[in-house]
Amino acid sequence: MEKYLYVALFAPLAGALFSLLFTAQKKNVITALVTSGLLLISFVSSLTLMFAVHDGLTLHVKMMGWISAGNLSLPYGFIVDNVSVVMMVTVTLVSAVVNIYSMGYMMHDKSYNRFFTYISMFVFSMLILVMSDNFVGLFIGWEGVGLCSYLLIGFWYEKESASWAGNEAFIMNRVADLGMLMGLFLIYWQFGTFSYDEIFAHVGSVNTGIVTTIGLLLFVGAMGKSAQFPFHTWLADAMEGPTPVSALIHAATMVTAGVYLVIRASDLFSLVPEVGHIIATLGAFVAVFAASMALVHRDLKKIIAYSTLSQLGYMFVAAGLGAYWIALFHLMTHAFFKSLLFLGAGNIMHAMDDELDIKKMGGLFKVMPYTAILMAIASVALCGVYPFAGFFSKDAILASAFNGGNFYIWFTLFIGAGMTAFYSFRLIMLVFFGDKVYKKLGFHPHETYPFVLWALLPLGILSTIAGFFEHPFEEFVTKVLDKYEFSMAHSTEIGLIFLTSAFVIIVIVATIYKYAKGGFSKQLETMPLYLLLKNQYYIPKIYEEVIFKPYYALSKFAWKQIDVRIIDFTVDLIAKTLYKTGQESRKMQSGNLSDMLRWMVVGIVVLLALAIFYRPMM
């Protein structure tokens, strides 16, 4: 079985290295085919491993040593268990789909080969992240996906905003990574190792305060990667990247790494419920916070990005409340429908010549029916309508919030679900139905290549049916993760499900009705609340004014004033003083003998005085 592990892990790397050779050359379809093939191989291997794991296997390999210093001995170790294999399958599946999809999407791009290099590199990093058996291995993947995200956001580097967004993503992630790094250091000095098994075996015997600190620090890292408040701004800006990237990295896989981290370290987090509570609260906050921004945005991709954020909040709620398998389940279903949504958006963008403003679209259903259907499936799945995938995972999260007695969290999530329904169908209505605004603006949209649509089909199917695997899934992953017991009555549960579903469906119907009638009036757009939401609560602006600009000013000050004016000036002053002294005392050397005689006598007097008054210490 080990060879499947290595194949799954290294096939994407091989693909990346292969297409790396072509990066400097003209577009070459071979790179896309080879990388897609290798990703499929990786997917198949992962699937094979999943079946093997299902039969009770847990693979744990140590490939080779990496770092050893002092008491630290850190090998490259990989583990395939019930949790990581789920992630592997999800990641390789979505990435294979995205890779095939990109063959159509990137068809006319001049950096075609480079794109596939990056995608394969990303998958490799992501697999390291999920498969590592220790925290530093996870950190390698963690930073690796960060790098690929940076490269892919800034893929069209000639666009100023793209490279800026890339920098923002990388740097913000770094800020959070620092927290995670500190967590790792604390782990090391507590346990003397980074390996999951050993840490989780001993975590019970360690002071709770330290476990809390570790948990919080790790969660800071997770916040950065999963773009939780206050690190959320990068995710919306990351939409500068090509759309398949947004689908793969910024919806399905990388941003969920934070959730994965919490799930992976569930043995640690379950010891400190207070931290879990913080996580859940923050998750609930972000769920509504992000959804509220999605309500008014006009940018097609940013709406989906905020939706992603909001869904990540849901996952954190589940993970924070100890319902780890539910979080993982939502992570998986979300990966399917959200990437589908993004890829559909990619089709629209292509059709609309990269126009993103949804107010300029409308009535596209006629031109691109298949895309519309797929996106509609994804949207209902996102909203959580029976029998689509989101229904099962999202309801389980709501139920777990209610079950834990955290009613305010439950209520927040409930509101969030309504918002989700609204913005999803606002998008669908504005893009696919209503007036054909695009005609006035001179766009000529068209449906995309058939093979692209075929590639989306698996995601569409999975978004529809994945929910029915809830119980097998639970059984599968709770072999490793803690079980989550619902203590409330079954009738309450059913009642809740009905309540939520009804609410969601009412919102959907109301939205459809409202937009079919022509939408909201323009006056609404001048309301302060609207402006607040539209400007993303002014947070990017605040960051700009409070962090970026002062930092730059301070840096300039440090250089121009402190470094040049003070430190270097002092150094030069010493040198100049010596030089000036020489220059001045040169005048003593006037050549006049009587002056010299006088100096000589001065010297004699000084020496005599020294001889008399100086008493050596010894």
Partner 1 sequence: MITLTHYLILSGILFSLGIIGVLRRKNLLMLFFSTEILLNAVNVGFVAVSKYYGDLSGQFFALFIISIAASEVAVGLGLLVLWYKRSGTIDLDSLQMMKG
Partner 2 sequence: MEHILSLIVFFPLIAMFFGFVISKDSVKTFGIAVALVEFIFSIILWIGFDAGNAGFQFVEYAPLISQFGVNYYLGVDGISLFLVVLSTLMTLVSLISLNIKKDIKNLVLAILFLEMTLVGVFLSLDMILFYIFWELSLIPMLYIIGAWGSGQRIYAAIKFFLYTFAGSALMLVGILYLGYQYYLATGTWSFSIPDWHLLVLPFHTQLWLFGAFFVDFAVKVPMFPFHTWLPYAHGQAPTVGSVLLAAVMLKMGTYAFIRFSLPFFPDASVYFLYPIAVIAIIMVIYAAMVAYAQEDMKQVIAYSSISHMGIIILGTFAMNAEGITGSIFLMLSHGIVSGALFMLVGVIYDRRHTKMIDEFGGLATVMPRYATIFGILMMAAVGLPLTIGFVGEFLSLLGFYAVNPYMAFLAGTGIILGAVYMLVLYKRAFFGKLVKQENKDLKDLDKREFTALIPLVALVIILGVYPKPVLTTIDMSVKKMINLMERKALLPETKELLVRVNKVGGTK
Partner 3 sequence: MFEAIAFYTFSILVIGMFGVVVFSKNALYAMSALAGGMIFISGFFFLLNADFLGVVQIIVYTGAVMALYAFGMMFFDSAKDVKENIKYKKIIYTLSVLSAIFTIFILMAPIYSVKIEAIYPTMENIGNIQMIGLILFTKYLVPFELAAIMLLVAMIAGIVLVKVKMEETPTNIEVARGEK
Restricting to residues 543-602, which ones interact with partner 1 according to CB under 8 A? 586, 589-594, 597-598, 601
Q: How far apart are CA 145 and CA 173, in angstroms?
A: 10
* Smallest distance, partner 2 to C-beta of residue 328, A: 25
Q: Residue 483 gets which letter from DSSP?
A: P
Question: Residues touching partner 2: how many (CB under 8 A)?
Answer: 60
68 binds, among partner 3, partner 1, partner 2, none (CB under 5 to 8 A by kind): partner 2
- Single out the segment in contact with partner 2 by CB under 8 A; choices: 320-328, 447-455, 523-531, 569-577: 569-577
Restricting to residues 66-85, which ones interact with partner 2 according to CB under 8 A? 66-72
Q: Residue 368 gets which letter from DSSP?
A: -
Residue whose CB is less far from partner 1, 2 or 595: 595
602 binds, among partner 3, partner 1, partner 2, none (CB under 5 to 8 A by kind): partner 3
593 binds, among partner 2, partner 1, partner 3, none (CB under 5 to 8 A by kind): partner 1
Residue whose CB is less far from partner 1, 524 or 597: 597
483 binds, among partner 3, partner 1, partner 2, none (CB under 5 to 8 A by kind): none
**HSE (CB half, 13 Å, CA atoms) of 585?**
7
Residues linked to residue 372 through DSSP beta bridges, in sequence order: none
Binding partner 3 (rule: CB under 8 A), the pick from 489, 612, 617, 618 is: 612
Residue whose CB is less far from partner 3, 575 or 611: 611
CA angle 416, 421, 427 (to 5 degrees): 125
Residue whose CB is less far from partner 1, 529 or 602: 602
Residue whose CB is less far from partner 3, 174 or 598: 598
585 binds, among partner 2, partner 1, partner 3, none (CB under 5 to 8 A by kind): none
* Smallest distance, partner 3 to C-beta of residue 596, A: 14
Tell which residue, 180, 316, 213, has the closest CA to residue 260.
Answer: 316
Q: Could you write out the DSSP letters of every residue in 39-88?
A: HHHHHHHHHHHHHHHHTT--EEEEEEEEEEETTEEEEEEEEE-HHHHHHH
SS3 string, 553-592, reads HHHHHHHHHHHHHHHHHHHHHHHHHHHHHHHHHHHHCCCC
189 binds, among partner 1, partner 3, partner 2, none (CB under 5 to 8 A by kind): partner 2
* Smallest distance, partner 1 to C-beta of residue 595, A: 10
* Smallest distance, partner 2 to C-beta of residue 548, A: 10
Distances 534 to 245, 271, 294, 349, 412 between C-alpha atoms, Å: 25, 40, 9, 22, 21
Q: How far apart are CA 310 and CA 286, in angstroms?
A: 6
* Smallest distance, partner 2 to C-beta of residue 42, A: 19
461 binds, among partner 3, partner 2, partner 1, none (CB under 5 to 8 A by kind): none
- What the block records as the tokens of 185 is 């250091």
Tell which residue, 314, 337, 195, has the closest CA to residue 258.
Answer: 314
How many other β-carbons are positioned within 10 Å of the β-carbon of residue 615? 6
Q: How far apart are CA 410 and CA 24, in angstroms?
A: 53
Residue whose CB is less far from partner 1, 68 or 589: 589
Binding partner 2 (rule: CB under 8 A), the pick from 489, 575, 611, 612 is: 575
Q: Residue 434 gets which letter from DSSP?
A: S
539 binds, among partner 2, partner 1, partner 3, none (CB under 5 to 8 A by kind): none
* Smallest distance, partner 2 to C-beta of residue 217, A: 10
Q: How far apart are CA 48 and CA 42, in angstroms?
A: 10
How many other β-carbons are positioned within 10 Å of the β-carbon of residue 564? 11
Tokens 């999202």 -> residue = 394
Q: Is 175 buried (19+), middle (13-18) or exposed (0-12) by CB count in 10 A?
A: middle
Binding partner 3 (rule: CB under 8 A), the pick from 24, 611, 617, 618 is: 611
Residue whose CB is less far from partner 1, 521 or 594: 594
Binding partner 2 (rule: CB under 8 A), the pick from 2, 29, 51, 189 is: 189
* Smallest distance, partner 3 to C-beta of residue 612, A: 6
Q: How far apart are CA 111 and CA 115, in angstroms?
A: 6
CB proximity list for 1: less than 8 A, separation 6 or greater: 49, 52, 57, 59
User: Is residue 241 involved in binding partner 2 (CB under 8 A)?
Assistant: no
Tell which residue, 464, 427, 235, has the closest CA to residue 333.
Answer: 464
592 binds, among partner 2, partner 3, partner 1, none (CB under 5 to 8 A by kind): partner 1
Residue whose CB is less far from partner 1, 572 or 595: 595
* Smallest distance, partner 3 to C-beta of residue 556, A: 54
Rg, the chain, Cα only: 30
Restricting to residues 539-598, which ones interact with partner 3 according to CB under 8 A? 598
612 binds, among partner 3, partner 1, partner 2, none (CB under 5 to 8 A by kind): partner 3
CB proximity list for 371: less than 8 A, separation 6 or greater: 344, 347, 348, 364, 447, 448, 453
Tell which residue, 304, 149, 144, 178, has the closest CA to residue 242.
Answer: 149
CB proximity list for 260: less than 8 A, separation 6 or greater: 87, 129, 130, 328, 331
DSSP reduced 3-state for 257: helix
Question: Residues touching partner 1: how many (CB under 8 A)?
Answer: 10
Binding partner 2 (rule: CB under 8 A), the pick from 48, 58, 163, 478 is: 163
List contacts with partner 3 (CB under 8 A).
598, 601-602, 604-605, 608-609, 611-612
List contacts with partner 2 (CB under 8 A).
23-24, 64-72, 136, 139-140, 143-144, 147, 150, 154, 157-158, 160, 163-164, 166-167, 170-171, 174-175, 177-178, 181-182, 184-186, 188-192, 206-207, 210, 551-552, 554-556, 558-560, 562-563, 567-568, 570-571, 575
List contacts with partner 1 (CB under 8 A).
586, 589-594, 597-598, 601
